[in-house]
A and B are shown apart, each in its own frame.
Chain A
Amino acid sequence: MSATGPPGDARPATAAGDVRVRGAGAAGDARPGGGVRVRVLGAVRRVVCLVALPALLVLLWWAVSGSSFYLPGPAAVGRAFAETWFSARLLDDVLPSVGRLLAGYALAALLGVGLGVPIGSSPRLRATLEPVLEFFRAVPPPVLVPLIMLLAGIDTPMKVLVIVSGCVWPILLNTVEGVRALDEVLADTCRMYGISGMSRLRWFVLRGASPQIMTGLRQALSIGIILMVISEMFASSSGLGFTIVLFQRQFQIAEMWSGILLLGLLGLGLSLLFRRLERWVLAWYHGSGAARA
């Protein structure tokens, strides 16, 4: 229908625009470039959608800034961001922080999945351990920092341990749940066809529990970032958390804000990466869910 629209119609991307692209292709429309234009407009629309709200927020920030010493404007924070983080601090503070985060996260994943599989497989083990595990999960990890400092000192091992101590629980408990809920018919299938030991673990248990394992890993990622910062606020001399506290104490307010901004961006980047990973690992799950619907 919209293939009959006026040729010079420059209505920005609307639903009608999309219909026209399809209609034009099907009818072999003789207007070259019409489809391309709509595609470009579509891309522009997506970028606008993505940027609109952040831009509005920055504008708001700019409008209210300057009213207080503690709230510098976007330009000042942007300048501070470039000066502070595109410098030796990137190597001295940011990378070690991220490294500890990834190390602690990886350890927690190994530990959580490694313990979760046997616990999930054994009803007796589960009945014994589950109340205790729920208790440990309920303990807020930051309160463990003083304890872990006593046990592991104040260096890297302590910080990694703090991250592990918080990240491991969601991964462990979700793995237990995923392994417990594995399909019985598939388990019988494995028994009938002699699929046992490592191949059973690899092809059945881990894959079957992967939706829950990924849920645990996603929860653990945000906990990990929080604990990375907190572990550096105690008795530390480097790292992102330490630096932000330092700026605050020295009244370098713009620099302090730039650190908060960096943490937000870091969290955003990691969660986007994680979503990629999840889409790849769980392609079958989303596909079969869509097929059932």
Chain B
Amino acid sequence: MLEIHDLRKVYDGRGRHVEAIASVTLSVAAGELVCVVGPSGCGKTTLLRAVAGLLPVSGGEVAVDGRRVTGPPPGTAVVFQEYGRSLFPWMTVRQNVELPLKEKGLPAGRRRALVAGSLDAVGLADAADAHPWQLSGGMQQRVAIARAVAYEPKVLLMDEPFAAVDAQTRADLEDLILRLWRDLGMTVLFVTHDIDEAVYLGQRVVVLSASPTTVMEDLKIDLPAARDQLTTRSLPRFGELRGHVYRQIQRARAHHDDARGTP
């Protein structure tokens, strides 16, 4: 469903030549949930923006559903980290969710059903007529998720979506994503800096190196499919996987520092 082949990204500006992504090759099968982790500043967001077609690449290729990405691919939705800036503050929650559906040309009845269904799924059926700024951060991110889900995407891209919410809300939203993913059968690429979150959510965890980025490891998460905040996180295997990913990222960081000549 999602093919990234030898993706390269170089930022060239006024005498500065920054190689952000050296080479990333990665594929995500239809219906799979893959998490991408890496040390901070490793180009995770750059990778996701390239996949979303929001950023031109310097080399290599991204294909979604067999079609090469040159702009935002149809049937793809994104949930951004900055929930406060990704919702239109002048629209109500309902209007925010409905606008992409209008642009898609869906008839009014279908739109109403999708909006009601998705707001219900994220637990915000009562907040449809509120404005985003009247809601808490976690609720705003739920609206963004509802908007993505109502769009009926084949591929859902998430860019550190829960980095700015508190721990309890974060656990709730993680379970919400797992439920929606199972119910709707979307392909999900989930970028995060949180190792626990990656291991808890993913069927696979892709560990990136520090910039210039390559794939350090593509790890299969052999935890039971049914995940639960309490039991899954207390499994010995969860601890092993978590520790493994943690060591990998430490290694990436150390390697990066060596290359820069710092002790």
CA distance A203 to B95 in the complex (A): 10
Contact B72 A192 (CB under 8 A): yes
Contact B99 A195 (CB under 8 A): yes
Instruction: Digitize B65-81: 1 where CB-to-A-CB distance is under 8 Å, 0 elsewhere.
Output: 00000011010111010
CA distance A287 to B89 in the complex (A): 9
Least Cβ–Cβ distance between A181 and chain B, in angstroms: 12
Contact A192 B77 (CB under 8 A): yes
Q: Which of A183, A192, A199, A284 contacts B102 (CB 8 A)?
A: A199
Contact A195 B103 (CB under 8 A): yes
Is the CB of A32 closer than 8 A to any CB of chain B? no
Contacts of A193 in B (CB 8 A): 77, 99-100, 103, 147, 151
Contact B54 A188 (CB under 8 A): yes
Least Cβ–Cβ distance between A203 and chain B, in angstroms: 6
Is the CB of B91 closer than 8 A to any CB of chain A? yes
Contacts of B53 in A (CB 8 A): 191
Contacts of A8 in B (CB 8 A): none
Contacts of B131 in A (CB 8 A): 284, 287-288
Is the CB of B88 closer than 8 A to any CB of chain A? yes
CA distance A203 to B100 in the complex (A): 11
Contacts of B89 in A (CB 8 A): 284-285, 288
Interface, chain B (partner A; CB < 8 A): 52-54, 71-72, 74, 76-78, 80, 82, 85-86, 88-91, 99-100, 102-104, 131-134, 147, 151
* A291 in contact with B88 given A193-B77, A193-B103, A199-B103 (CB within 8 Å): no
Contact A204 B88 (CB under 8 A): yes
* A291 in contact with B133 given A194-B100, A207-B90 (CB within 8 Å): yes
CA distance A288 to B91 in the complex (A): 11
Contact B82 A185 (CB under 8 A): yes
CA distance A207 to B74 in the complex (A): 26
Is the CB of A76 closer than 8 A to any CB of chain B? no
Contacts of A292 in B (CB 8 A): 133
Most buried by B among A185, A189, A195: A189
- 18 A-B contacts, Cβ less than 8 Å apart? A189-B78, A189-B80, A191-B72, A192-B76, A193-B77, A193-B99, A193-B147, A195-B103, A196-B103, A199-B99, A199-B103, A203-B88, A203-B91, A203-B99, A207-B88, A287-B131, A288-B89, A291-B133
Least Cβ–Cβ distance between A129 and chain B, in angstroms: 23
CA distance A291 to B54 in the complex (A): 30
Least Cβ–Cβ distance between A148 and chain B, in angstroms: 38
Is the CB of A186 closer than 8 A to any CB of chain B? yes
CA distance A203 to B98 in the complex (A): 12
Contact B133 A287 (CB under 8 A): yes
Least Cβ–Cβ distance between A280 and chain B, in angstroms: 12
* A192 in contact with B90 given A183-B85, A292-B133 (CB within 8 Å): no
Name the prevailing secondary structure of the A interface residues: helix
Interface, chain A (partner B; CB < 8 A): 183, 185-186, 188-189, 191-196, 199, 203-204, 207-208, 210, 284-285, 287-288, 291-292
Given contacts A192-B77, A192-B78, A195-B103, 13 further A-B contacts (CB under 8 A): A183-B85, A188-B52, A192-B76, A193-B103, A193-B147, A195-B99, A195-B100, A199-B99, A203-B99, A207-B88, A284-B89, A287-B134, A288-B89
CA distance A186 to B88 in the complex (A): 7
Contacts of B77 in A (CB 8 A): 192-193
CA distance A151 to B82 in the complex (A): 53
Most buried by A among B72, B104, B147: B72
CA distance A192 to B90 in the complex (A): 19
Contacts of B80 in A (CB 8 A): 185, 188-189
CA distance A210 to B90 in the complex (A): 10
Least Cβ–Cβ distance between B259 and chain A, in angstroms: 31
Contacts of A188 in B (CB 8 A): 52, 54, 78, 80, 86
Contacts of A208 in B (CB 8 A): 90
Contacts of A210 in B (CB 8 A): 90
Most buried by A among B85, B89, B100, B132: B89
Please name the residue on chain B nearest to A197 by beta carbon: B103
CA distance A199 to B101 in the complex (A): 12
Please name the residue on chain B nearest to A189 by beta carbon: B86
Least Cβ–Cβ distance between A270 and chain B, in angstroms: 25
Contact A186 B99 (CB under 8 A): no
Most buried by A among B76, B102, B131, B133: B133
Please list the 4 inter-chain residue pairs (A to B) with the smallest Cβ-Cβ separation, ordered nearest first: A193-B100, A288-B133, A185-B85, A284-B90
Least Cβ–Cβ distance between A162 and chain B, in angstroms: 35
Least Cβ–Cβ distance between B60 and chain A, in angstroms: 21
Contacts of A195 in B (CB 8 A): 99-100, 103
Please name the residue on chain B nearest to A207 by beta carbon: B90
Please name the residue on chain B nearest to A188 by beta carbon: B54
CA distance A260 to B147 in the complex (A): 56
Contacts of A194 in B (CB 8 A): 72, 74, 100, 103-104
